[in-house]
Structure 1
Amino acid sequence: MEKTPPPAPDDGAAGGGARRFWSARRISAGLLALLLLVVAVAFLYDIAAVRADRPAMSWRRELTDQLARRPLEDIWVLLGAAVATALGLWLLLLALTPGLRSLLPMRRTHPDVRAGLDRDAAAMVLRDRAMEVAGVRSVRVRVTRRRADVRAVSHFRELDEVRADLGAVLDDTIGRMGLARPPVPAVRVRRPGRKG
């Protein structure tokens, strides 16, 4: 019985085709839905009360009186418009951006499977591998979507040798992570007690 080879990696996903993960944003959507529900219920209750020959609620009478009396260039009208505009832009930004910035998309080896690696986990793997390099005393690693900033302290060996070994180890480790857009390592090595 002949085995079928696994599907080849998707070349489009390895480059610009790999998209970031979208956040569900359940909390912000739930809060907005709750706020809209409260406002809608208040207005519907007041409209039903007016239709039943009862007086309108005082807050709605006050609001309509204020809106009728104040000119458009009034500071409170402008402030309310600015707050509403900022809130609307914030909601549009939430709707149009993926979110989940902490997940790095991985190469897709199968079209139905998507995987991601947390940036903190990637930083931990790089730190552990960097600590295996001879001469490295301590390492701090910060991984972004495009870069892996590695700051190492070396207590023996030449700094250029440590930097070269670190670069080779990090390149190998980043290549083995299987990320769709591998971060570029930026390595800085210094002696203990020196800043930089």
Structure 2
Amino acid sequence: MSGPEDTNPQPDAGGGPAPGTTLEKEPDSAGPGGAGPGPDYAPAGPHDGKAGRFWATRRAPAAVTALLLLAGLGFLLYDVASVRAGRPGMAWRRTLADELATRRLDDVFVMAGAAVAAALGLWLLVLALTPGRRSLLTMRPELPQVRAGLERSAAALVLRDRAMEVPGVQAVRVKVSRRKVRARALAHFRDLEEVRSDLGGALGDGIDQLGLARRPGLSVRVRRPGK
């Protein structure tokens, strides 16, 4: 069981970040001289929620897309060079050209291919326009050009330890999302409303001490253990 002093994810005595905490230094790219925070950095107050989220690098989708494009362009370039050298084109290109010239637009295969291409394009657009890294919660920027993030699993563990300190709580399950904290507790003594009130207060204080840029909502449910 952790005491109240362990619930705030502060750096340890050696100066390193707490477990589950991610630190990033923003590049100096605001002005011509390189002074000031980068374009994706926004200083935030205690709970104004203006700190930007961490963006995923998307290495795997980018690598797969680049390899597929490279393979397709390589085959096409080889076929064009072969035709320029006086050799016949590849059979797959002649067959594809004939199929595209003879099949109607309402053909099942044409519509299926168009649907697959549209789905892949939409997937790539979603990856390009969304930040990803949903498991990382953005913390309030306390220092210039330094952004900190807290894993949702680490936040849930801290809040669970705080909840277990409430008298009457036998067991508790805490789930943390970007917008809400859900706690489901079992109380083996005391009135359920009293336990729920104390648990809500303890978890509310714990959420404030996490130092998140956007304070999530809180949902608490308390019931008796099943027999």
Normalised to the residue count of structure 2, the TM-score between the two structures is 0.79
- Structure 1 Cα separation of the partners of residues 52 and 46 of structure 2: 8
- Structure 2 Cα separation of the partners of residues 56 and 13 of structure 1: 66
Per-residue deviation, 1:83: 0.8
> Residue in 2 aligned with 1:110?
143
Alpha carbons of structure 1 residues 188 and 13: separation in structure 2 relative to 1, 3 Å: closer
Alpha carbons of structure 1 residues 66 and 111: separation in structure 2 relative to 1, 3 Å: same
Partner-residue secondary structure (3-state), 2:50: coil
> Residue in 2 aligned with 1:51?
84
Q: 1:29-74 CA deviation, whole Å, 9 max, x = no partner?
A: 1011011110010100111111001111111111011111111111
Map of 1:176-191 to 2, 5 A cutoff? Answer: 176-191=209-224
Structure 1: 4+ residue segments shifted above 6 A: none
1:150 alignment partner, one of 183, 191, 196: 183
Question: RMSD across aligned C-alpha pairs, in angstroms?
Answer: 1.3
1:101 alignment partner, one of 116, 120, 134: 134
- Structure 2 Cα separation of the partners of residues 72 and 33 of structure 1: 29
> Residue in 1 aligned with 2:104?
71
- Structure 2 Cα separation of the partners of residues 94 and 12 of structure 1: 29
Structure of greater relative contact order (alpha carbons < 8 Å, 6+ residues apart): 2
Letter in 2 for 1:125: V
Q: Which runs of 5+ in 2 are unaligned?
A: 1-42
Partner-residue secondary structure (3-state), 1:115: strand
- Structure 2 Cα separation of the partners of residues 70 and 107 of structure 1: 58
Letter in 1 for 2:125: L
1:193 aligns with 2:222: no
Normalised to the residue count of structure 1, the TM-score between the two structures is 0.91
> Residue in 2 aligned with 1:124?
157
The sequence identity of aligned pairs, in percent, is: 61
The answer to whether the 8 A contact 1:127-1:141 is kept is yes
- Structure 2 Cα separation of the partners of residues 15 and 72 of structure 1: 52
Per-residue deviation, 1:90: 0.7
Q: Which runs of 5+ in 1 are unaligned?
A: 1-9
Alpha carbons of structure 1 residues 114 and 13: separation in structure 2 relative to 1, 3 Å: farther
1:162 aligns with 2:187: no
1:29 alignment partner, one of 51, 62, 76: 62
- Structure 1 Cα separation of the partners of residues 46 and 164 of structure 2: 32
The answer to whether the 8 A contact 2:138-2:150 is kept is yes
- Structure 1 Cα separation of the partners of residues 86 and 44 of structure 2: 69
The answer to whether the 8 A contact 2:47-2:215 is kept is no
> Residue in 1 aligned with 2:7?
none
Alpha carbons of structure 1 residues 13 and 83: separation in structure 2 relative to 1, 3 Å: farther
Per-residue deviation, 1:12: 5.2
Partner-residue secondary structure (3-state), 1:63: helix
